[in-house]
Amino acid sequence: MSAVVIVGAQWGDEGKGKIVDLATEHADVVVRYAGGPNAGHTLVVGNDKLVVRLVPSGILQPHSVCLMGQGMVVDPAVLLTEIEALEQRGIKVQGRLFVSELAHVIMPYHVLIDGLRESGAAQKIGTTKKGIGPCYEDKVARRGIRLGDFRDLDRVRTLLAAAIDAWAPAMKAWSATLPSPDALLDDLAPLAKRLLPLITDTGALLDEAVRANKRVLLEGAQGTLLDIDHGTYPFVTSSSAVAGGACTGAGIGPSRVRRVIGITKAYATRVGEGPFPTELLDEAGTRLRDRGGEFGSVTGRPRRTGWIDLPALRYAARVNGVDGWALTKLDVLTGLDPVRVCVAYDTPSGRTADLPLTELDRCTPVFESLPGWTEPLEDVRTIDALPKNAAALVRLIEDKTGIGADIVSVGPRRDQTIVVRDIFR
Ligand code: IMP
């Protein structure tokens, strides 16, 4: 049994792309299981930088087969643009990428509604405006349109008419209008025709791979604290971003998952609205943003930055069943002194080492300060070769969470990585 889940332990943007890319060197099948083009995984290969939003990061490894599971929401135009960009770089996609026939389609009206809401809402979520929320809403309301439906365009026309009807009152309130089903189909049918060869029962392909004892990597998107059930609700995304979501979103039974790797930065970031108790609004925060390149890969928005939150990581370890950490961007902390770490919270009912999820806005983080280091880390390849104070930070994270670091990333390039343990071991 060889399926490994890679999951974000914070608010997304933990550097999953690099870790998945590294892990796929040894993976036969890479599956994305949640979210849609709200994700943006930056892959760095040599001097080349590439952002993939829908296609699993494993696409860069010529031997891997990539699956997009039924838990995802897919914008056909975005997917086709991404495929073209990959092909232009000589990366073969045909025969290597398969998309679930059960994945829901992000329609142009979902994108429109997401934008209208965000521009007028009293309580903004700060979404990526890619239509994610409205598409999942249609899915749960049981009026969504799935990729497999496009095998029968008359069926899609009927489904579009029903969905447009359902959104009509909201559109009226926004003084906006939606195109007719025919107009939508005129645009969508040619896109769907190009995608149909990729659309299949990805769950069956995954099952075949698991039975054949292939190495399967389930690649999370967003992060634990953005999960619809386990995150800082309502400031969350609309999908199941945690490791459990890999089972429903890829179509694999929990008994088939062998290990869960949690990805965390050595500090914290958040994009969009919502509580972020360790946020830094001073020079140290700006420094983290600039040194860490903390600008959204999808929207370009500057990310909010702050110190690492160990109660939050312990929580992420619990809800995901994390077996090992991949600690990323340790190099970004070089030059900061002291380095601070949130180890507990003062809540209205006393101090706790747990994450007070439902009352974060009424709690104060308790920090421990560690001496910083000035040595660059980019050329370090073993834990023992880390500067003493950087190693102490890694140890503190391991000790306070009770989970070891399997990987420590010290730079954006593939080779700028300390591999402590093989994640497929
Ligand atoms: P949505 O997923 O576009 O609906 O956005 C909901 C919330 O999740 C917003 O706060 C977004 O900024 C955040 N979000 C969604 N995807 C990502 C991601 O890949 N990285 C970081 N934040 C994300």
Last residue of a domain, one of 195, 215, 239: 195
CATH for 178: 1.10.300.10
Last residue of a domain, one of 241, 259, 277: 259
Q: pLDDT value at position 24?
A: 87
Residue 82 resides in a domain: yes
Residue with tokens 């770089």: 89
Do residues 284 and 358 share a domain?
A: yes
Do residues 131 and 249 share a domain?
A: no
Give DSSP secondary structure letters for 71-128.
TBEE-HHHHHHHHHHHHHTT---TTTEEEETTSEEPPHHHHHHHHHHHHH-SS-----
Q: What is the pLDDT of residues 339-364, one digit of tens each?
A: 999 999 999 999 999 999 999 999 99
Do residues 133 and 72 share a domain?
A: no
**Shortest-distance Cα residue to atom 10 of ligand 1:** 272
pLDDT, mean of residues 93-98: 95
Q: Ligand 1: which atom is nearest the Cα of residue 128?
A: 3
Do residues 27 and 156 share a domain?
A: no
Confidence band for 89, pLDDT divided at 50, 70 and 90: confident
Do residues 132 and 73 share a domain?
A: no
pLDDT, mean of residues 129-155: 97
**Shortest-distance Cα residue to atom 2 of ligand 1:** 237
Last residue of a domain, one of 140, 173, 195: 195
Q: pLDDT value at position 17?
A: 83
Residue 424 resides in a domain: no
Do residues 345 and 386 share a domain?
A: yes
Do residues 410 and 277 share a domain?
A: yes
If you ran DSSP here, which 8-state letter would residue 130 be given? S
What percent of the chain has pLDDT above 90? 85
How many domains, the chain? 3
Mutate to test the pocket of ligand 1, among 14, 20, 32, 38 (most ligand atoms within 8 A of CB): 38
Do residues 159 and 220 share a domain?
A: no
CATH for 57: 3.40.440.10
Kindly state if the Cβ of 271 falls inside 6 Å of ligand 1: yes
CA distance 57 to 41: 7
What is the DSSP pairing of strand 350-352 with strand 364-370? unpaired
Do residues 95 and 109 share a domain?
A: no
Task: Show the domain range for 177.
Answer: 104-195
pLDDT, mean of residues 25-50: 84
State both tokens at 200. 């299949």
207 is known as an active-site residue: no
Q: pLDDT value at position 45?
A: 57
Instruction: Give the pTM.
Output: 0.95
State both tokens at 101. 């026939």
Do residues 242 and 360 share a domain?
A: no
